[in-house]
Amino acid sequence: MTEAVREVRAVRGRPGAPGGSRRPSTAPRPSATRLLWALPPVALLALVFLYPLALVVQQSFQPDTGGTSVQPYADVFASEAFREALWTTVWLALGSTAGCLVLGFALALVIAFVPFPGARAVSRFIDVFLSFPSFLITLALLFIYGTVGMANGLWTDVTGAAEGPFQFLTTPWGVLLAEITYFTPFVMRPLLAAFSQLDTAQLEAASSLGARAPRIIRQVVLPEALPALAAGGSLVLVLCLNEFGIVLFTGAKGVTTLPMLVYGKAILESDYPGACVVAVVNVLISVGLYGLYRVVSRRAGA
Protein backbone atom coordinates (compact mmCIF):
# COMPACT_ATOMS: atom_id res chain seq x y z
CA MET A 1 0.00 0.00 0.00
CA THR A 2 2.59 2.57 1.05
CA GLU A 3 4.72 1.31 -1.75
CA ALA A 4 1.95 1.99 -4.23
CA VAL A 5 1.58 5.48 -2.85
CA ARG A 6 5.30 6.03 -3.15
CA GLU A 7 5.18 4.83 -6.70
CA VAL A 8 2.33 7.16 -7.58
CA ARG A 9 4.26 10.03 -6.07
CA ALA A 10 7.35 9.03 -7.99
CA VAL A 11 5.39 8.98 -11.21
CA ARG A 12 3.78 12.30 -10.45
CA GLY A 13 7.13 13.78 -9.60
CA ARG A 14 8.62 12.57 -12.85
CA PRO A 15 7.72 15.55 -15.10
CA GLY A 16 10.28 17.55 -13.16
CA ALA A 17 12.96 14.88 -13.47
CA PRO A 18 13.90 15.03 -17.16
CA GLY A 19 13.80 18.80 -17.11
CA GLY A 20 15.98 18.78 -14.03
CA SER A 21 19.00 20.13 -15.78
CA ARG A 22 16.98 22.84 -17.46
CA ARG A 23 15.31 24.36 -14.41
CA PRO A 24 16.84 22.99 -11.24
CA SER A 25 15.22 25.72 -9.14
CA THR A 26 11.76 24.20 -9.53
CA ALA A 27 12.56 21.19 -7.37
CA PRO A 28 10.49 22.21 -4.30
CA ARG A 29 7.50 23.08 -6.46
CA PRO A 30 5.62 19.78 -6.09
CA SER A 31 5.25 20.16 -2.32
CA ALA A 32 4.01 23.72 -2.71
CA THR A 33 1.49 22.51 -5.27
CA ARG A 34 0.42 19.80 -2.92
CA LEU A 35 -0.21 22.32 -0.16
CA LEU A 36 -2.23 24.42 -2.56
CA TRP A 37 -4.33 21.39 -3.46
CA ALA A 38 -4.91 20.59 0.19
CA LEU A 39 -6.09 24.08 1.01
CA PRO A 40 -9.64 24.09 -0.46
CA PRO A 41 -10.82 20.83 1.19
CA VAL A 42 -9.31 21.85 4.52
CA ALA A 43 -10.91 25.27 4.29
CA LEU A 44 -14.24 23.76 3.35
CA LEU A 45 -14.00 21.27 6.20
CA ALA A 46 -13.22 24.03 8.65
CA LEU A 47 -16.06 26.19 7.41
CA VAL A 48 -18.88 23.66 7.30
CA PHE A 49 -17.84 21.32 10.09
CA LEU A 50 -15.26 22.62 12.52
CA TYR A 51 -16.63 26.16 12.78
CA PRO A 52 -20.18 25.14 13.78
CA LEU A 53 -18.70 22.61 16.17
CA ALA A 54 -16.59 25.33 17.73
CA LEU A 55 -19.71 27.50 18.02
CA VAL A 56 -21.53 24.73 19.84
CA VAL A 57 -18.63 24.27 22.25
CA GLN A 58 -18.41 28.02 22.80
CA GLN A 59 -22.14 28.30 23.42
CA SER A 60 -21.95 25.50 25.96
CA PHE A 61 -19.76 27.69 28.15
CA GLN A 62 -22.05 30.73 27.97
CA PRO A 63 -24.96 30.51 30.39
CA ASP A 64 -28.04 32.68 29.73
CA THR A 65 -27.05 34.81 32.70
CA GLY A 66 -24.06 36.05 30.67
CA GLY A 67 -20.31 35.60 30.92
CA THR A 68 -18.27 32.48 30.45
CA SER A 69 -18.48 29.68 33.00
CA VAL A 70 -18.86 25.96 33.46
CA GLN A 71 -22.25 26.57 35.08
CA PRO A 72 -24.21 25.02 32.15
CA TYR A 73 -22.18 21.83 32.59
CA ALA A 74 -22.78 21.76 36.32
CA ASP A 75 -26.51 22.28 35.76
CA VAL A 76 -26.82 19.61 33.10
CA PHE A 77 -24.70 17.03 34.94
CA ALA A 78 -26.73 17.59 38.07
CA SER A 79 -30.05 16.95 36.35
CA GLU A 80 -31.67 13.55 36.67
CA ALA A 81 -32.98 13.77 33.07
CA PHE A 82 -29.47 14.05 31.66
CA ARG A 83 -28.07 11.14 33.61
CA GLU A 84 -30.98 8.99 32.58
CA ALA A 85 -30.64 10.00 28.91
CA LEU A 86 -26.92 9.27 29.04
CA TRP A 87 -27.51 5.79 30.42
CA THR A 88 -30.36 5.11 27.97
CA THR A 89 -28.26 6.25 25.03
CA VAL A 90 -25.26 4.13 25.94
CA TRP A 91 -27.09 0.91 26.71
CA LEU A 92 -29.35 1.26 23.68
CA ALA A 93 -26.34 1.82 21.43
CA LEU A 94 -24.35 -1.04 22.96
CA GLY A 95 -27.36 -3.34 22.92
CA SER A 96 -28.24 -2.49 19.34
CA THR A 97 -24.65 -2.96 18.22
CA ALA A 98 -24.43 -6.34 19.92
CA GLY A 99 -27.75 -7.35 18.41
CA CYS A 100 -26.70 -6.17 14.95
CA LEU A 101 -23.41 -8.06 15.18
CA VAL A 102 -25.07 -11.33 16.20
CA LEU A 103 -28.00 -11.06 13.80
CA GLY A 104 -25.86 -9.69 10.96
CA PHE A 105 -23.28 -12.45 11.35
CA ALA A 106 -25.94 -15.14 11.35
CA LEU A 107 -27.78 -13.72 8.34
CA ALA A 108 -24.60 -13.10 6.38
CA LEU A 109 -23.52 -16.70 7.07
CA VAL A 110 -26.76 -18.01 5.64
CA ILE A 111 -26.68 -15.74 2.60
CA ALA A 112 -23.03 -16.50 1.87
CA PHE A 113 -22.83 -20.22 2.58
CA VAL A 114 -26.28 -21.78 2.34
CA PRO A 115 -27.12 -22.06 -1.32
CA PHE A 116 -30.74 -21.03 -1.73
CA PRO A 117 -32.50 -19.50 -4.72
CA GLY A 118 -32.57 -15.74 -4.45
CA ALA A 119 -29.48 -15.38 -2.27
CA ARG A 120 -28.10 -12.88 -4.76
CA ALA A 121 -31.34 -10.93 -4.81
CA VAL A 122 -31.27 -10.74 -1.01
CA SER A 123 -27.68 -9.55 -1.16
CA ARG A 124 -28.71 -6.82 -3.63
CA PHE A 125 -31.63 -5.82 -1.46
CA ILE A 126 -29.27 -5.22 1.45
CA ASP A 127 -27.47 -2.61 -0.64
CA VAL A 128 -30.76 -0.89 -1.34
CA PHE A 129 -31.82 -1.15 2.29
CA LEU A 130 -28.75 0.83 3.34
CA SER A 131 -30.09 3.80 1.44
CA PHE A 132 -33.46 3.82 3.20
CA PRO A 133 -34.09 6.57 5.76
CA SER A 134 -34.07 5.24 9.30
CA PHE A 135 -37.61 6.38 10.16
CA LEU A 136 -38.99 4.23 7.37
CA ILE A 137 -38.28 1.02 9.25
CA THR A 138 -39.82 2.52 12.36
CA LEU A 139 -42.96 3.36 10.41
CA ALA A 140 -43.10 -0.19 9.11
CA LEU A 141 -42.79 -1.53 12.65
CA LEU A 142 -45.57 0.85 13.74
CA PHE A 143 -47.82 -0.55 11.05
CA ILE A 144 -47.19 -4.04 12.33
CA TYR A 145 -46.76 -3.75 16.11
CA GLY A 146 -48.08 -0.26 16.85
CA THR A 147 -51.01 0.29 19.20
CA VAL A 148 -53.39 0.27 16.23
CA GLY A 149 -51.12 -1.84 14.05
CA MET A 150 -51.91 -5.05 12.19
CA ALA A 151 -50.82 -7.46 14.90
CA ASN A 152 -52.89 -5.80 17.58
CA GLY A 153 -55.79 -5.32 15.16
CA LEU A 154 -55.81 -9.02 14.42
CA TRP A 155 -55.73 -9.79 18.13
CA THR A 156 -58.59 -7.49 19.03
CA ASP A 157 -60.64 -8.76 16.07
CA VAL A 158 -60.11 -12.38 17.02
CA THR A 159 -60.44 -12.13 20.82
CA GLY A 160 -62.68 -9.09 21.11
CA ALA A 161 -60.31 -7.60 23.65
CA ALA A 162 -60.09 -3.82 23.91
CA GLU A 163 -56.30 -3.77 23.54
CA GLY A 164 -53.74 -5.90 21.75
CA PRO A 165 -50.84 -7.52 23.55
CA PHE A 166 -48.12 -5.75 21.56
CA GLN A 167 -47.30 -2.60 23.46
CA PHE A 168 -43.52 -2.88 23.47
CA LEU A 169 -42.92 -0.48 20.60
CA THR A 170 -43.15 2.60 22.80
CA THR A 171 -40.71 1.10 25.31
CA PRO A 172 -36.91 1.05 25.01
CA TRP A 173 -37.29 -2.48 23.63
CA GLY A 174 -39.16 -1.07 20.66
CA VAL A 175 -36.32 1.33 19.96
CA LEU A 176 -33.86 -1.53 20.34
CA LEU A 177 -35.82 -3.66 17.89
CA ALA A 178 -36.07 -0.84 15.38
CA GLU A 179 -32.39 0.01 15.63
CA ILE A 180 -31.33 -3.61 15.26
CA THR A 181 -33.63 -4.03 12.27
CA TYR A 182 -32.39 -0.89 10.60
CA PHE A 183 -28.67 -1.17 11.34
CA THR A 184 -28.11 -4.92 10.84
CA PRO A 185 -27.48 -4.50 7.09
CA PHE A 186 -24.67 -2.08 7.94
CA VAL A 187 -22.91 -5.04 9.57
CA MET A 188 -23.87 -7.50 6.85
CA ARG A 189 -22.40 -5.47 4.02
CA PRO A 190 -18.74 -5.72 5.12
CA LEU A 191 -19.33 -9.29 6.34
CA LEU A 192 -20.61 -10.45 2.96
CA ALA A 193 -17.60 -8.82 1.32
CA ALA A 194 -15.32 -10.66 3.76
CA PHE A 195 -17.08 -13.98 3.23
CA SER A 196 -16.78 -13.71 -0.52
CA GLN A 197 -13.00 -13.48 0.00
CA LEU A 198 -12.95 -16.55 2.20
CA ASP A 199 -11.19 -19.54 0.69
CA THR A 200 -13.75 -22.34 0.42
CA ALA A 201 -10.86 -24.81 0.36
CA GLN A 202 -10.25 -23.88 4.01
CA LEU A 203 -13.82 -24.72 4.91
CA GLU A 204 -13.53 -28.03 3.08
CA ALA A 205 -10.22 -28.83 4.73
CA ALA A 206 -11.78 -28.16 8.15
CA SER A 207 -14.73 -30.33 7.27
CA SER A 208 -12.64 -33.25 6.08
CA LEU A 209 -10.57 -33.00 9.28
CA GLY A 210 -13.76 -33.85 11.14
CA ALA A 211 -15.16 -30.45 12.11
CA ARG A 212 -18.90 -29.78 12.01
CA ALA A 213 -20.43 -26.47 10.99
CA PRO A 214 -20.39 -24.78 14.45
CA ARG A 215 -16.69 -25.47 14.95
CA ILE A 216 -15.88 -24.33 11.42
CA ILE A 217 -17.83 -21.11 11.98
CA ARG A 218 -16.17 -20.46 15.34
CA GLN A 219 -12.60 -21.34 14.45
CA VAL A 220 -12.26 -20.73 10.73
CA VAL A 221 -14.93 -18.25 9.59
CA LEU A 222 -15.18 -15.99 12.65
CA PRO A 223 -11.45 -15.16 12.92
CA GLU A 224 -11.43 -14.20 9.26
CA ALA A 225 -14.56 -12.08 9.74
CA LEU A 226 -13.24 -10.13 12.75
CA PRO A 227 -12.02 -7.10 10.80
CA ALA A 228 -15.36 -6.86 9.02
CA LEU A 229 -17.22 -7.24 12.33
CA ALA A 230 -15.07 -4.52 13.89
CA ALA A 231 -15.67 -2.19 10.97
CA GLY A 232 -19.42 -2.80 10.84
CA GLY A 233 -19.76 -2.77 14.62
CA SER A 234 -17.96 0.51 15.18
CA LEU A 235 -19.98 2.15 12.45
CA VAL A 236 -23.26 0.93 13.91
CA LEU A 237 -22.22 1.92 17.43
CA VAL A 238 -21.61 5.51 16.43
CA LEU A 239 -24.74 5.67 14.30
CA CYS A 240 -26.83 4.32 17.19
CA LEU A 241 -25.37 6.78 19.68
CA ASN A 242 -26.49 9.61 17.46
CA GLU A 243 -29.76 8.11 16.18
CA PHE A 244 -32.65 10.52 16.34
CA GLY A 245 -35.26 9.57 13.77
CA ILE A 246 -35.93 6.07 15.08
CA VAL A 247 -36.35 7.21 18.68
CA LEU A 248 -38.64 10.03 17.62
CA PHE A 249 -40.82 7.89 15.37
CA THR A 250 -41.42 5.05 17.81
CA GLY A 251 -43.10 7.71 19.94
CA ALA A 252 -41.64 6.13 23.04
CA LYS A 253 -42.34 8.81 25.64
CA GLY A 254 -40.12 7.34 28.30
CA VAL A 255 -37.15 6.82 26.00
CA THR A 256 -35.01 9.92 25.99
CA THR A 257 -31.61 9.62 24.40
CA LEU A 258 -28.99 12.35 24.21
CA PRO A 259 -30.00 13.53 20.72
CA MET A 260 -33.62 13.66 21.91
CA LEU A 261 -32.50 15.67 24.94
CA VAL A 262 -30.64 18.12 22.69
CA TYR A 263 -33.77 18.49 20.61
CA GLY A 264 -35.93 18.96 23.69
CA LYS A 265 -33.67 21.53 25.30
CA ALA A 266 -33.01 23.52 22.15
CA ILE A 267 -36.43 23.52 20.49
CA LEU A 268 -38.91 22.98 23.31
CA GLU A 269 -37.18 24.68 26.25
CA SER A 270 -35.03 27.17 24.31
CA ASP A 271 -32.18 26.24 26.66
CA TYR A 272 -29.39 26.65 24.14
CA PRO A 273 -26.42 26.38 26.51
CA GLY A 274 -27.92 23.20 27.98
CA ALA A 275 -28.54 21.74 24.52
CA CYS A 276 -24.98 22.52 23.53
CA VAL A 277 -23.61 20.85 26.66
CA VAL A 278 -25.53 17.66 25.86
CA ALA A 279 -24.40 17.85 22.23
CA VAL A 280 -20.77 18.19 23.29
CA VAL A 281 -21.14 15.21 25.61
CA ASN A 282 -22.72 13.24 22.78
CA VAL A 283 -19.86 14.04 20.42
CA LEU A 284 -17.26 13.15 23.06
CA ILE A 285 -18.90 9.80 23.75
CA SER A 286 -19.10 8.99 20.05
CA VAL A 287 -15.49 9.85 19.41
CA GLY A 288 -14.35 8.20 22.63
CA LEU A 289 -16.19 4.93 22.10
CA TYR A 290 -15.17 4.83 18.47
CA GLY A 291 -11.54 5.35 19.43
CA LEU A 292 -11.79 2.64 22.06
CA TYR A 293 -13.30 0.29 19.54
CA ARG A 294 -10.50 0.93 17.08
CA VAL A 295 -7.82 0.33 19.71
CA VAL A 296 -9.47 -2.86 20.90
CA SER A 297 -10.04 -4.22 17.41
CA ARG A 298 -6.43 -3.47 16.46
CA ARG A 299 -5.26 -5.30 19.58
CA ALA A 300 -7.40 -8.25 18.55
CA GLY A 301 -5.31 -8.42 15.42
CA ALA A 302 -8.01 -7.16 13.14
Asked if 120 touches other proteins (CB under 8 A), the answer is no
What character string, x for contact with other proteins (CB under 8 A) and - otherwise, covers 155-194? ----------------------------------------
Residues in region 218-257 near other proteins by CB under 8 A: 219-220, 223-224
Choice from 20, 202, 270, 291 touching other proteins (CB under 8 A): 202
Asked if 74 touches other proteins (CB under 8 A), the answer is no
In the complex, the smallest distance separating the C-beta of residue 234 from other proteins, rounded to whole angstroms, is 20
Q: Would you say 171 and 177 are in contact if contact means Cβ atoms under 8 Å apart?
A: no
Asked if 211 touches other proteins (CB under 8 A), the answer is yes
Asked if 113 touches other proteins (CB under 8 A), the answer is no
In the complex, the smallest distance separating the C-beta of residue 209 from other proteins, rounded to whole angstroms, is 3
Asked if 214 touches other proteins (CB under 8 A), the answer is no
In the complex, the smallest distance separating the C-beta of residue 221 from other proteins, rounded to whole angstroms, is 10
* Residue 229 vs 277, nearer CB to other proteins: 229
Asked if 15 touches other proteins (CB under 8 A), the answer is no
Asked if 19 touches other proteins (CB under 8 A), the answer is no
Choice from 71, 171, 207, 242 touching other proteins (CB under 8 A): 207
Binding site for other proteins (CB under 8 A): 199, 201-202, 204-212, 215, 219-220, 223-224, 301
